[in-house]
Amino acid sequence: MDFFSTVGLNHYLIISAILFGLGLFAVVTRKNAIVVLMGVELILNAANINFLAFSKYNGGMEGVMFSLFVIVLAAAEAAIALAIIINIYKTFNTVDVSSIDSMKE
């Protein structure tokens, strides 16, 4: 009962493991490229929770700084990935990742 009444490091690790699994599930099973991208965002958020949890219970600032850089990289990744998806849509007229099987039409 002590595990449920006091919030510790393990609680954050469990939440981040669940988020990571769900994001991986989205990447593996969904056909729409935008939902795959949402799964990647979930995975990045899970990694961020881990960084901040370890930083909190370690007392240092390394995890906090690294999570800030992760957020910036996630923004850059989302912009580039959506530009690529829009290009795919203009070329193939679909964003179904399982039906895109050539580099150019």
Partner 1 sequence: MTNTTYTVIFYLFAAVTVFSAAFVVFSRNIIYSAFSLLFTFFGVAALYVFLSADFIAVTQIMVYVGGILVLLLFGVMFTNKIMMTDLKTDVLNILPGIVLLLSITGGLIYTFVARAEWFTSTVQLQGSVVEKIGFETMSRYVLPFEMVSILLLLALIGAAFLARFDKPGKTNDK
Site for partner 1 contains 40 (CB under 8 A): no
Asked if 86 interacts with partner 1 (CB under 8 A), we say: yes
Q: Which of residues 60-79 bind partner 1 (CB under 8 A)?
A: 60-61, 64-65, 67-69, 71-79
Q: Residue 47 interacts with partner 1 (CB under 8 A)? A: no
The nearest distance, CB 99 to partner 1, in angstroms, is: 10
The only residue of 1, 28, 102, 103 in contact with partner 1, by rule CB under 8 A: 28
Long-range own/partner contacts, residues 11-20 (CB < 8 A, 24 or more apart): 12/49, 12/50, 12/52, 12/53, 13/50, 13/53, 15/49, 16/46, 16/47, 16/49, 16/50, 16/53, 17/46, 19/43, 19/45, 19/46, 19/49, 20/46, 20/47
Residue 24 interacting with partner 1 (CB under 8 A): yes
